Amino acid sequence: MTTPIHLNQFQSLIESLNEVLSFVKPADAVLRQFFREQSKIGGHDRRYIVETVYGILRHAESLLPFAPIHASRRLALLFHMKIEGRSLRDLEKLCTSEELQWLKDVKASPVTPSLSTKTGLPEWIVNKLKDLYPEEELLALGRSMMFEAPLDIRVNTFLVSREEVLNELLSLGFNASITPHSPLGIRIQGRPSLQDLQLFKKGYFEIQDEGSQLLGLMLAPKRRDLIIDFCAGAGGKTLLLATLMHNHGRVYAFDVSSKRLDQLKPRLKRSGLSNIMPVLIESERDQRVKRLNGKADRVLVDAPCSGLGTLRRNPDLKYRQSAQGIDELVVKQRAILESAAHCVKPGGMLMYATCSILFEENEDQVKWFSEKHPDFVLTNNEQLELGLSGEQYLKCLPHKHGTDGFFAAIWQRKVS
């Protein structure tokens, strides 16, 4: 039996959805601000709003044949009828007479589903992928990203073992298990709040998708290395690299955003690590970057990208990004790679990584860099058991590995 929707709930939903569907800001940021401003909305109504907004974003391609992307009321009514299976009787109290007749017309209309409808991906993304994947695999990829991602955490093995954290979570009643690929990860079912746990406050774990964990493991830093995390952001991979180095060596966390680096500071304090140096830079050509030219053992370029591998978490990205935006990102990614390459010492390693599923941001960038820099040689991916033995890059996909979409390639700089 479906829970009835009250008119005031629906009105609050439409108010928040109007803001989300402007696509000016990320959906999660819009909803956080909306709930701050509408502080009297209770927990039950908040859950309804969040679940419905994200449901509409995930299933929008099935709704858009009947209503445009900015038609908040019609998209919400369609979602409740077509995706949730609510009856017209359930919805009539939420509708105008015109909307009710429109719903009846939609219900009676036969539709031949397009590839976009089947995959949940806009046409511009389908056009980029359809010649690269067999249709069956493209359908599996698209459909896998229409579901909510699991909650993965990475254990801080500098302080505690994975077994200890897992046992404590199980004793607290969480439905938790080890991740299938990362030796540092734990997967927790549902969407429980973890920030109030003593385990979290003590720095015993960080929230991090398993695919993201695999990138750091693939780079395989050594204890005494000098490492540069070129686009460190809030520092998830920075912390992982520093942990793998057992708090030895030095990790420079570069980023152009002081706001993102500020988010690293409390995480660093919790972690117990002291081998990380956050550095605010103006651009990839900053003098603070150039002074490390030729000195780094390993450089990670977790490049700014479309983020289309994270659609399970951020379904609005498929409408906030565009084909033109991808072209601009490709130029930026190449500029960052060029600067990062100068920092790698002879014999050192350069990793290029994205959370994208697009070839322009991934394989095409690897080909471009390899052709332009014959002094860098692609290494084989032998560190990870993902059924990718012999491949020259890591490629995680949600329908295959249960992770977000991630890509990574590693070059070694020739000694002479």
Report CA-CA distances (Å) from 68 to 63, 86, 115, 389.
Answer: 8, 21, 18, 45
3-state secondary structure of 43: helix
Q: DSSP of 354-415, one letter per residue?
A: ES---GGGTHHHHHHHHHH-TTEEEPP--S--SS-TT-SEEEE-HHHHSS--EEEEEEEE--
Spatial neighbors of 410 by CB under 8 A, at least 6 apart, are 218, 219, 349, 350, 351, 352, 378, 379, 381, 393
Interaxial angle between packed helices 43-58 and 27-37, expressed in degrees from 0 to 180 and rounded to the nearest 10: 160
315 closest CA partner among 119, 170, 172: 119
| Alpha-carbon gap, residue 149 to 253, rounded angstroms | 27
- 228 has which bridge partners? 252, 299
DSSP state of 67: S
| Alpha-carbon gap, residue 392 to 320, rounded angstroms | 31
**Whether residue 396 lies in the annotated active site:** no
Q: Which of 305, 343, 355, 396 is catalytic?
A: 355
| Contact status, residue 161 vs residue 155, Cβ threshold 8 Å | yes
| Alpha-carbon gap, residue 216 to 232, rounded angstroms | 12
- Angle value at C-alpha 281, between 234 and 374, nearest 5 degrees: 95
The separation between the first and the last C-alpha atoms of the chain, rounded to the nearest angstrom, is 70
23 closest CA partner among 65, 69, 58: 69
3-state secondary structure of 188: strand
Catalytic (active-site) positions? 355
